[in-house]
């Protein structure tokens, strides 16, 4: 069992995930904006460190940063301080190729790496019920399992290093395609005079349903709230990773390509900081209609 863990990146996901770890283990936390680490220490009893290198005292090092680029920058700073045997668990939705390079650098120092991206959103992170897809050696996976379990509902070992990030990128590509296709379909129905709320009731007990129709549209679109829990820029990044993977594997993937392009266009037009579901507003503006319940 872990003596000490460290968590780097207390964003929407990392903050509550590190909170669950702190309830079970001695947990060091570091964040670029230090005030968040201090707030975390007060809320969960973790230990806020201001010098990143202090996190190297932990046996398990967690990262949850926007992309693999930020993970690599942190690794560059930490590498000289890492002790052999340290297990780096990267919960970022990262890039498999990048992860394989990071894992190699860590192995040269006697450390190991697991890519362990998560699914379940802010709500799942707060409830400690995230789905975690892990890539890496079986031995390191088994070593990390009791620690990852602090914030997970389901944990899967999906293959070697990079496999976790690969599964996550495809999952999020399916989310992106589901969101775009549901928006186009519902905008069409709204324009033809069908109440989108009624159409969703039908679709959600029929074969066209998806996470988007079951969750996003009822909770975020019909309510017109679009709460910002997962940024459009981050989903655009996931679609880019999925397209790069398809290219690398010589898999023709025109749908994935189109979805990635649409998210890049959306990012350019409405900005990356909005919630990913705000892409629906763009489709609404092209269609000249709003996907909202009809007022009788």
List contacts with ligand NDP (CB under 6 A): 9-14, 31-33, 36, 64-66, 70, 92-93, 118-119, 121-122, 229-230, 234
Using CA atoms, how far residue 119 sits from 7, 13, 41, 123, 145, in Å, is 18, 10, 25, 10, 16
* Minimum gap (Å) between residue 278 Cβ and ligand NDP: 14
* Minimum gap (Å) between residue 264 Cβ and ligand NDP: 16
The three-state secondary structure class of 275 is strand
Q: Tell me which of 83, 122, 168, 281 is the catalytic residue.
A: 168
Task: Please identify, using beta-carbon distances, which residue of 180 and 232 lies nearer to ligand NDP.
Answer: 232
Q: Is 288 exposed, middle or buried (0-12, 13-18, 19+ CB in 10 A)?
A: exposed
Q: For this structure, is 168 an active site residue?
A: yes
Our CA dihedral for 45, 118, 159, 96, rounded to 10 degrees, sits at -100
* Minimum gap (Å) between residue 291 Cβ and ligand NDP: 22
Q: Which helix (H) or strand (E) holds 71?
A: helix 68-78
Closest CB to ligand NDP: residue number = 11
Task: Please identify, using beta-carbon distances, which residue of 60 and 230 lies nearer to ligand NDP.
Answer: 230
Task: Please identify, using beta-carbon distances, which residue of 49 and 187 lies nearer to ligand NDP.
Answer: 49
| Cβ proximity of 271 and 232 under 8 Å | yes
> Using alpha carbons only, what angle is made at residue 283 by residues 279 and 289, rounded to the nearest 5 degrees?
125
| Cβ proximity of 260 and 179 under 8 Å | no
Task: Please identify, using beta-carbon distances, which residue of 10 and 246 lies nearer to ligand NDP.
Answer: 10
* Minimum gap (Å) between residue 189 Cβ and ligand NDP: 28
Active site residues: 168
């Amino acid at each position: 069992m872990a003596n000490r863990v460290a968590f780097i990146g207390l964003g929407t996901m990392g903050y509550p995930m590190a909170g669950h770890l702190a309830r079970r283990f001695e947990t060091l936390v570091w964040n670029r904006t230090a005030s968040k680490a201090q707030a975390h220490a007060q809320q969960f009893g973790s230990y806020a460190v201001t010098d990143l290198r202090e996190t190297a005292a932990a046996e398990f090092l967690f990262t949850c940063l926007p992309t693999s680029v930020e993970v690599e920058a942190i690794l560059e700073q930490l590498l000289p301080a890492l002790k052999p045997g340290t297990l780096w668990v990267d919960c970022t939705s990262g890039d498999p190729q990048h992860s394989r390079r990071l894992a190699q650098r860590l192995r040269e120092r006697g450390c190991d790496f697991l890519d362990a991206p998560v699914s379940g959103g802010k709500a799942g992170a707060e409830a400690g019920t995230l789905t975690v897809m892990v890539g890496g050696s079986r031995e390191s996976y088994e070593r990390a399992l009791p620690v990852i379990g602090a914030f997970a509902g389901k944990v899967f070992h999906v293959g070697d290093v990079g496999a976790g990030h690969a599964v996550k990128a495809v999952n999020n590509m399916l989310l992106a395609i589901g969101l775009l296709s549901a928006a186009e379909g519902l905008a069409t129905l709204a324009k033809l005079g069908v109440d989108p709320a009624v159409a969703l009731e039908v679709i959600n007990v029929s074969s066209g349903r998806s996470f988007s129709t079951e969750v996003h549209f009822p909770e975020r679109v019909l309510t017109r709230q679009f709460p910002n829990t997962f940024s459009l820029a981050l989903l655009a990044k996931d679609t880019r990773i999925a397209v790069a993977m398809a290219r690398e594997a010589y898999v023709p993937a025109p749908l994935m390509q189109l979805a990635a392009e649409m998210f890049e266009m959306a990012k350019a037009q409405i900005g990356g900081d909005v919630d990913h579901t705000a892409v629906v507003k763009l489709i609404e503006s092209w269609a000249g209609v709003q996907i909202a319940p009809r007022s009788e």
